[in-house]
Every structure is written in C-alpha cells, then in structure tokens.
Amino acid sequence: MPVNAEKEITKLWRTLHNMQAENCKTFYRWREVALEVAGPDKDPMDVAMKAAEMMGKDIGKGFLPRLNWLKGEDAFMLNLGRSLAGLWNTEGGLATAEPGENPGEVFIKCTRCPWPTAAKEFGVPMEEVALSRERLFQTILSDVNVFFNINLNIEMLKAIPRGEGIYLFRLYKEN
C-alpha cells in the first residue's frame, strides 16, 4: 500500500501543534491546582515565579552537556542563545538568536509565543506570563554560570504579553 507522504506529514504537523497547545494548558491547569492547595493568602505571582525557577533548574541541567567553549566565547554565547530560542520553538513559538553588536552579547527574539493565548483561557495576568519567561531564562543561566565559572545575565527588553509585538531578550556577559 503506497504512503501519501503529504497526508502523513500534515497529520504529524497537526498532532505536534495540538500537543504544544496542550502543554501550555496543562501548565495553567497545574497552576490552578497549586493555587488552590496553597490557599487564598498565596500570591499567584509567587507561585508562578517558583514554578519558573523549578522548571529553569531542570532545563538548565539539560543544557549543560550541549554547551562548550571549544569554539570561543562568541560561539558559546550564540549556542546558548540558540538553545533558549529552541526551547521556545519546541513549545510552539517562533524564536531566533542573533549576535549583538558588542562582544559577549546575544539577542533572543520571539515573534510568536503560545503562552499568552493559553494564559487568557485561564485568566492569568499577562504580566505574570512575561515575568515567568524572564525568571525561567534567568534560572537556566544560574547553573550555566556555576558550571562554566562565568557571569551571564539576561534581561527582557520587550514582551508580547505587554503588547509590544515581540519578545526581545538581551543575553550578555557581565564584567
């Protein structure tokens, strides 16, 4: 029986997109449960930041085996930026990493992010969505900094949930 490659690819593509959307929704379902268990006095932003830190620690450990200095600092920084952008792409976003004008600087841009759409369904404030991404990336860098004995930082310059049309992060080496 012949295989219709176009039909199979379309099926896989649709399944991937459905899974990416379900991933975001599952996160916000768990957020609701955590808030319910924590009680009415717990600030939802604190729960979101703790979740971002826990996820960032786990993701950061996964990044370490793929990072190295063999091609120099600029290549290291760009590869790290690409890994952060790749995380977003895996979640259903559209992100890239580009070298900055200064040495030891990379810009991570995301023009499509699935998280604000899922957050709206669950009544999550957009500022929480933006700050969660920033905290996730910052926490990922904490293990990278320790492992490589460097001092990297990341700052959010623009955010889709703030109505700025793009996420823009600056990854840089502090002196």
- Structure confidence by residue, pLDDT tens digits, 28-41: 999 999 999 999 99
What pLDDT is attached to residue 3?
85
What angle do the packed helices 73-90 and 44-63 form, to 10 degrees? 130
Residue 43 has pLDDT above 80, yes or no: yes
Amino acid at 161: P
- Whether this prediction's pTM lies above 0.85 is answered by yes
- Structure confidence by residue, pLDDT tens digits, 89-121: 999 999 999 999 998 899 999 999 999 999 999
> Is 76 in contact with 67 (CB distance < 8 Å)?
yes
CATH code of 5-173, in short, is 3.30.1380
The mean of the pLDDT values for the chain is 92
**What's the CA gap between 174 and 102, in Å, rounded?**
12
